[in-house]
Amino acid sequence: MLLFSLPIVLAFSLLAFCFPPDSRAQSVIPTLASAICELRPSCEDRCREHSEKRFKRCVERAEEPEACAERARAIFVACSEENCQRDPDCKRRCRGHARAFRRHCVEEGHARIACTERARAVRRVCVEEKCEPEPTCEERCKLHSRQFLRRCVEEGDDPLACTEAAEAQFASCVEERCQLCLCPQVFDPVCGVDGNSYDNVCFARCARVEVAHEGPCEGGCECNRDCPDTQVCREKGACQPPCGLLCFVADPVCGSDGVTYICGEQDAACHGVSVLHNGPCAPVCREDGDCHVGALCNDSSELCTDPCGCADFCGSCICLQVFDPVCAADGRTYGNACEARCAHVEVVRPGPCEPHP
């Protein structure tokens, strides 16, 4: 059974489109006396027409009607999904803008052919910038797989085989390109060409930064905010795990000495204290020794603070180890927005900062 009987389906489609249901029809009917419904083919109508042309060509080549219908159906689905999901009003506005540009260009005495080409470029840029939001990585993979599917079926290959190949291509694209930033939580620091240290090569690659050399960048840390959340800045400007422990996910506990231990029960135990409760201690201190390594006790507020300005070090600056880089106002890339907030720096935009020239 064929899906596409154009004259009947299109006739009913026109009626349904021209006569809105219920009360709206009453206001439209008088208008039809002077102007029969002015209808431009919708995006899906154009895709349907395109698929029917492909179907007819297929039948004319004496191929099996069922196979031709299946191929036409796949072409229609790929066409409508690829082209009919965006805002048509936006594209119409871009067309109008391009027409106005061309008219003005001709009025200024430029050659019509040149004006037409420039107007096309204006329209293309308008659509790309205004009508098509930046696709996600998976959306780009999906678009590529749809384009592959369309080409495959148009070339006459088996629709089922084309679909399976497109699905495999989509899965491969996602695995190779979209999971780049799912890095192992292994601390094997490298220095990027942007002057920032990264936990490992994978994190540098995620930030689109080339590795300058193994090991942290020269200069190391100056204070705790220069280190990952689960490490502190020790002597010689090196980020190290507290008490020699290396934990990859912050699991703070409050020790019996009133100090917050970032790496949980083991961290507290290696300092010879028991755990009072899970979660950070109230940020109260009497002297620097009451604070974690690298933090200082503010005499007036009795709060543990980071010398670099990371306030309330005993709790509020413990962030999840989630790599979702942001570029901050100080020109540095932070692992996520929480890390930037800890450093009291405003986030300028998502994604890593541009490398230093």
357 residues of the chain, pLDDT tens digit each: 343 343 333 333 333 333 333 333 333 333 333 333 333 456 667 777 878 888 888 888 877 877 888 888 878 777 766 666 555 577 778 888 888 888 888 888 888 888 888 888 778 777 766 676 656 667 778 888 888 888 888 788 888 888 888 888 888 877 766 655 656 656 677 888 877 777 778 777 776 678 888 887 776 665 666 676 656 665 445 666 666 554 555 677 888 877 777 777 767 766 667 888 887 776 555 565 555 544 566 555 455 555 444 433 333 455 555 677 888 888 888 877 777 777 777 888 888 888 765
* 55 Cβ contact list (under 8 Å, min separation 6): 2, 4, 68, 69, 71, 72
Q: Which of 8, 85, 7, 102 is nearest to 44 (CA)?
A: 85
| Nearest-angstrom CA–CA distance, 249 and 187 | 12
> Which residue reads 């020109």 in tokens?
331
> Which residue reads 């604070």 in tokens?
291
Contact 222, 308 (CB under 8 A): yes
Helices (H), the chain: 6-18, 23-32, 43-60, 65-83, 88-107, 112-126, 137-154, 159-173, 201-206, 264-270, 337-342
The model carries a pTM of 0.24
Topology given in CATH for the domain delimited by 317-356? Wheat Germ Agglutinin (Isolectin 2); domain 1 (3.30.60)
Q: What type of residue sits at position 69?
A: A
Per-residue tokens: 23: 């009360």
